[in-house]
Structure 1
Amino acid sequence: MDYKQMAKEILEHVGGVKNVANMSHCATRLRLNLRDSSMADDQDVEAIDGVINVLDKAGQYQLLIGTEVPKLYDEFEVLVKGDTTTTIQQITNENSGSVMSNIFSAVSAIFAPLLPALAGSGILRGLLILSVQMGLITENSGTYSILFVASMSVFYFLPVLLAFTSARRFGASPYISALIGASLIHPFFIDLMGNAGNGTTTEFFGIPVVLMNYNSTVVPIILSIWAFSYLYKFLDKKVPETLKLVIIPLISLLIMIPLTVIVIGPIGVYSGEAVANVVSWLIGRSSILTGVVIGGGWSVLVSLGIHWAINPIMINNISTHGFDYIVPFTFACNFAVIGTTIGIYFKAQDKKLRSFALTGLITVALSAIIEATLFGLLVKNRKLFLAQIIGGAVGGAYMGLTKVVTNAFVFGSVTTFPAFVEKDNANFINAMVGLLISMAISAILAYIFTKKDEKLA
C-alpha cells in the first residue's frame, strides 16, 4: 500500500489542508475535524484504495482504515505540516466543532499511542499470574520480580506517558510535560506522605498542599498538561528566541509543578475517583443491567466512533484498583460479532459473503478489531446487527451477574484471555461461559436471520 499517495488523495477529497482543523487516529481510524464537512466528498473518499468506510459522527470525519492507520497518519501529518506554516501541534489544538467532539478527539489522540503498551503489559500480567498458579514461578523469586516490573511499569509510569501524548495533542513541549509527570511520582515527593497516604498535608511557601499518590493515575496529568499548553504557547510567543532554551523550561517547571500538586492534581484524583465510584455504584445496583447496556450497546458506540470516551474510565480502574468490570462487557460484544459471523457462514451460500464472514471471524478472534465486520456487514443489515446486539447483551448480563473482571485493559479476543486470570479460578470460568453465551446466541440468531441467497451488500 502506498500510504503517501493515499494520504494525498484523502487530503484532496476532504477539502485540502485549510479545511483540516484537527487530526488524530485511534486503533483503526483516521479521525479528522473539518472546518466545513460539506467540502468532503464521501463517495470519492470511500473509493480511495485502502479506505474501508467513511463516517461523519460526533463532530468527526472518520475514515476506517484498519490496523495500518498509524502509517497513513504519519504520511498525512507530513502533508499537513509541509503545506502550511502552522505546526501540527497548533492545528490539532485549535478548537473546532462542538465541545463533545473536541473531547472525543482529544481522548482518542492521547490514549491511542499507548494502547499497544497497555495491552501487551496487561497480557504479560495475566500470563504471570497464570504461571504462579501453575507453580511455574514463585512469587519470592527474582524471575517473578523482573516479570512483575515488566508488566506493571506502564501503569506505574502512566503519568509520564500520558504527559507526553497529552502534550502532542494539546500543543505543549512533550519533554517538559514528561518532566511534570515524572515529578508527581518522584520518590522524594512520595516520601512526603510517609505512611499516612493520600490526604497528608504539607506546605509550599505557606500554601497548604494536599499530598496524593499519583502513580497509575490518569486524570490529573491530562488536566495539568492541558493547562500547561496555554502557558507554553504564551511563553513561546513572548520569550525572545535567544532565551527560549532556558527561560521556557525554567518558568514552566516553576509554575506548573507547584500548580499541579496544589490545585490540579487533587482535583484530578478526586474527579477520577468520583467517576470510578459512579461506575462501581451502577454495577453494584444492577450489574446485570450494566452488562446488558454495555455488552449490547458497545458496538453501537463503536459504530458512532464515540467508544473512546469510556476507555479512560477502564484504564483508570485498572491502574488504580488493579481490575475493571467494564472491559469484560466489551469482550461480550466482540464475541457476539464472532458468533454472528459463524451464523452467517453456515447459512449463507454466497461465496463472497461466506468469505467475508470467515475473514471477520478470524480478524476479531485474533486482533479484536470489529470495525471491518461492523461496517462491512452488520450496519448494512439491521437484523444481523440486532443479532449481534442481543448476543452481546445476554452475555454481558451473565458476566455482570457473576461479577467478571479483567486485570488489564485489553481488546476482546482469544489472544487476550489471560486478562481474565485471577487467583479465583471462577472469574476465568465465568468469563468463558459469558463469552460462549454471547457467541452462541448471536450465531443462532444470525443463522435464523440470514437468507440462503443473502448477498454481501
Structure 2
Amino acid sequence: MDYHKSAQAIYDALGGSANINSLTHCMTRLRFKLKDETQVDDARVKEIAGVMGVNHQAGQYQIIIGNDVSNYYQELVKLGVGNSMTADSETTDTAPSEEHESWFNRFANFISACMSPLIPALIGGGMIKVLVILLPLLGWLNPKGSTYAFLTIFGDAPFYFLPIMLAYTSAKYFKVSPMLAVTVAGIMLHPNFAAMVKAGKAVTLMGLPVTLANYSSSVIPILLMVWVMKYLEQIVDRFCPNSMKSILKPLIIIFVAGTLALVLVGPLGTFAGKLLSDIILFVQSKANWLAMPLMAAFMPLIVMTGMHWAFAPIFLAASTAHPDSLILPAMLAANIGQGAAALAVAFKTKNKSIRQVASAASISALVAGVTEPALYGVTLKYKKPLYASMIAGAITGLFMGLVNLKSFAFAVPSLVSLPQFVSSTNSQNLVNAVIVLVASFIITFVLAYIFGIDEAPAAAQTAGTTTSSASMDQTAPATSTAPTIVPGTTNIYAPMAGQLVALEQVPDDTFAKKVLGDGCAIIPSEGNIYAPFDGEVLTIFPTKHALGLRSDTGVELLIHVGLETVNLKGEPFEVMVQDHARIKRGQLLLKADLEAIKAHGCEIITPVVITNTTEFDEITAAEPQAIQPEQVAICCVKK
C-alpha cells in the first residue's frame, strides 16, 4: 500500500490546508474538522485506495481506514495536516467536557495534553544531558572547556524553561491568551527574581510577602497559575469596557496574575509538588524493596493514564547531585518489558499483519523508549503480554530496590539512553542497569511467549473487522479465550424492544458496510437491554455504551447502544452486570436513558453485530418489523 499517495489524495480531496482545521485519529478512523464539509465529494474520497468509507458525525468528517489508520495519519502529518493537532487539538480540541468526565479523567487528560507536545524537547535535552555525562568519562570532552559548558546549556534549556513551554500548552488547553500565560511564566523565571531567591532575604510585593521559590524546571506551579488565569480572564472580559479592553486587559492580567503567581499560587504549587515528592520518597526510604516492584509493575498503566507526569518534579530534576532512584529506573524495566512483550507477540503470532505491528512497536520501545505503540497496539490489546511485562517489572523492581539503582539524568529509558545510569563514583550502578535491562527483556519475552495471545481478534481483523480501545466509538469486543463454535443453529433474540431494521440502514459506514461483522440494528422504544442468549459477558466498555457478549455456542456479539455515544462518557447508562459474568437469556444487562442520548444529539439506533461472522456458514437477520425481546432477531448456522 502506498500510504503517501493515498494520504495526498485524501488531502487534496478534502481541500488541503484551506479547508482542514485539524486532524485526530482513533483506532480505525481519521477524524477531520473541516471548515466546510460541503466542499468535499464523498464519492471521490471513497474511491481512494485504502478508504473503506466516510461518515459525517459529531461535527467531524470521518474517513474509515481500518487498522492501518496510523500510517495514513503519519503521512498526513508530513503534509502539514497534523501540525494543528500536535499543538492545538492535543490541548484545545481534547479539553474534556467537565459535564461528562470524572475529576480523575479530566486531570489525567489535562496533564497528558499539556506535557505531550513537550516530549520532543525533553527527549532532545535529556539525550544531550546523557552525552554530557558519557563523553567526559570516555575522555572525549573536557569538563572544564567551553564546549562542555555549551552542551550543558543545550541540555538544561528545555528543563529550565519548562514552565514557559507549559504556560503555552496549558493556555491552549484552558483557552487562555497564550502570550499572557507565557509572560507570567517569564515573571516566575526572571533573572532578578532568581537573584532574590539566591540572596535569601525576605521580600514583599505591595506589602504582601513573597515566597522565595525557584520555579525553573517546575511543573505544578505554572499549571495551577494558568488554571487561575482562565477565571481571571473571564472576570476581566466581563467587566472591562470594550473600548479599553485592548489596553486594560493585558495590563490587569499581567499585574494581577504576576502578583498571584509570586505571592499565592506559585508557592502553593511548589509546596504541592514537594509534598508529592516527599511522600513518594518517604515510602521509598521506608520500604524501597516494596516501592520499586510496585512502581515497575504498574508503570505501563501509569503511563497509559498520563499520571507519570505527576512525578515530574522527581524525574525531571535527575542529575549527578540529585539522582532519581524511583521513576526512571522503573521506566527502564517497564519500557524494555513492553518492547520484549511486543517482540514475543511478533514471534508467536501466525498473522502477518499483527507481526508487522508488533515488530515495529518492539523497536520503538526498546530503542527509543516510546512504548505507546506497544502498549496500545499490542500488549493492552491482547492483555496476556501486558501481564507478562508487569510480572517482569515486579521481579526486576525488587532487584532495583535492593541495589538502589539510580538515574543521573533525565532521558526516556531505553537501549540508547542507558548511559543515563553511568555514575562517576559507582561503576556498579551501570552494571545493575544492564542486569535490569537484560532480565526484564528475557523474563518478559519468555512469559509472553508462553502465555501466547488469542488469535481470534487477529482473525477478525484479517476478515475486515476491527478491535480497538474503548476510546473510539465503534469497537469490537475483546476475546478472552478462543471461542468454541458449536455446529448447528444459534438463535439470537432481540436484546431490546423496538423497530428492527437492516444493518445497512445504520447511518454509519462502519456498521452499514459490515466492517465489524453481519447482524441487524434496532431503533429502541425503551432503554432496557437484555441478554439475547445464554453465555457470558466478554467486555463492558468503560463508557458503558457497548457490550461484548459470547454465547455458549460461540457467537460473539457486539451491542452498540446508539451512535457516537462514547462521547457521553457513560452518563446515560447504568450497567447491571459485571465483566466475565454468566448471563441467561432475558436477563437485564444495561439500562439506557434514550431521551438523554437524544438530547445530546446522538442517534439511538443500536447495531447488533456478530463480530466473528467469518466463523459461521450462514447468518440471517429477521425481516424489518416491530420486535420484542422474546422474538428471534438473528439466526447463525454452523455446519
* Residue in structure 2 matched with residue 374 of structure 1 by the alignment: 375
Offset, 1:409? 3.8
Moved more, 269-278 or 373-382: 373-382
- TM-score, normalization: structure 2? 0.57
* Residue in structure 1 matched with residue 228 of structure 2 by the alignment: 227
> Does the C-alpha gap of structure 1 residues 67 and 159 become closer, same or farther in structure 2, counting only changes over 3 Å?
farther
Q: How does 1:15-164 map to 2 (within 5 A)?
A: 47-48=65-66, 50-51=68-69, 74=83, 92=95, 95-96=98-99, 97-164=101-168
* Residue in structure 2 matched with residue 24 of structure 1 by the alignment: none
> Does the C-alpha gap of structure 1 residues 271 and 67 become closer, same or farther in structure 2, counting only changes over 3 Å?
farther
Offset, 1:231? 1.0
Query: Could you tell me which amino acid in structure 2 is paired with residue 400 of structure 1?
Result: G
Whole-Å Cα distance in 2 between the matches of residues 267 and 79 of structure 1? 28
Query: Could you tell me which amino acid in structure 2 is paired with residue 174 of structure 1?
Result: P
SS at match of 1:405: coil
The structure carrying a bigger helix percent of its residues is: 1
> Does the C-alpha gap of structure 1 residues 242 and 270 become closer, same or farther in structure 2, counting only changes over 3 Å?
same
> Does the C-alpha gap of structure 1 residues 297 and 77 become closer, same or farther in structure 2, counting only changes over 3 Å?
closer
> Does the C-alpha gap of structure 1 residues 246 and 101 become closer, same or farther in structure 2, counting only changes over 3 Å?
same
Is the 2:342–2:379 Cα contact (8 Å) retained in structure 1? no
* Residue in structure 1 matched with residue 188 of structure 2 by the alignment: 184
**Pairing partner for 2:177 from 173, 180, 184:** 173
* Residue in structure 1 matched with residue 419 of structure 2 by the alignment: 418
Offset, 1:109? 1.5
Query: Could you tell me which amino acid in structure 2 is paired with residue 447 of structure 1?
Result: Y
> Does the C-alpha gap of structure 1 residues 351 and 192 become closer, same or farther in structure 2, counting only changes over 3 Å?
closer
Is the 1:335–1:392 Cα contact (8 Å) retained in structure 2? no
Offset, 1:228? 1.2
- The answer to whether 1:323 aligns with 2:323 is yes
Whole-Å Cα distance in 1 between the matches of residues 96 and 244 of structure 2? 25
SS at match of 2:323: coil
Q: How does 1:265-280 map to 2 (within 5 A)?
A: 265-280=266-281
Whole-Å Cα distance in 2 between the matches of residues 146 and 274 of structure 1? 34
- TM-score, normalization: structure 1? 0.78
> Does the C-alpha gap of structure 1 residues 409 and 73 become closer, same or farther in structure 2, counting only changes over 3 Å?
farther
* Residue in structure 2 matched with residue 441 of structure 1 by the alignment: 443
Offset, 1:295? 1.6
SS at match of 2:210: strand
Offset, 1:387? 1.7
Q: How does 1:330-341 map to 2 (within 5 A)?
A: 330-341=331-342
Offset, 1:263? 1.0
> Does the C-alpha gap of structure 1 residues 240 and 146 become closer, same or farther in structure 2, counting only changes over 3 Å?
same
| Structure with higher RCO (Cα < 8 A, 6+ apart) | 1
Whole-Å Cα distance in 2 between the matches of residues 67 and 155 of structure 1? 30
Is the 1:348–1:452 Cα contact (8 Å) retained in structure 2? no
> Does the C-alpha gap of structure 1 residues 8 and 136 become closer, same or farther in structure 2, counting only changes over 3 Å?
closer
Whole-Å Cα distance in 2 between the matches of residues 45 and 116 of structure 1? 28
Offset, 1:213? 1.8
SS at match of 2:394: helix
> Does the C-alpha gap of structure 1 residues 206 and 347 become closer, same or farther in structure 2, counting only changes over 3 Å?
closer
Query: Could you tell me which amino acid in structure 2 is paired with residue 444 of structure 1?
Result: V
Paired residues, what number?
410
SS at match of 2:423: coil
Whole-Å Cα distance in 2 between the matches of residues 113 and 382 of structure 1? 28
Tell me the C-alpha RMSD between the 2 structures. 3.7
Offset, 1:65? 6.9
SS at match of 1:211: coil
Question: 1:87-114, CA deviations, whole angstroms, 9 ceiling, x for partnerless residues?
Answer: x959837634221111112111211111
Offset, 1:78? 12
> Does the C-alpha gap of structure 1 residues 444 and 262 become closer, same or farther in structure 2, counting only changes over 3 Å?
same
Moved more, 284-293 or 349-358: 349-358
Q: Which is higher, the Rg of structure 1 or of structure 2?
A: 2
Whole-Å Cα distance in 1 between the matches of residues 75 and 416 of structure 2? 16
Question: 1:270-313, CA deviations, whole angstroms, 9 ceiling, x for partnerless residues?
Answer: 111110111111221222322222222222344xx31x122231
How many percent of aligned residue pairs carry the same amino acid? 26
Offset, 1:174? 1.1
Offset, 1:374? 3.1
Offset, 1:261? 1.0
Is the 1:315–1:409 Cα contact (8 Å) retained in structure 2? no
> Does the C-alpha gap of structure 1 residues 185 and 300 become closer, same or farther in structure 2, counting only changes over 3 Å?
closer
Is the 1:338–1:360 Cα contact (8 Å) retained in structure 2? yes
Q: Which blocks of at least 5 consecutive residues in structure 1 are unaligned?
A: 18-38, 54-63, 81-87
The structure carrying a bigger strand percent of its residues is: 2
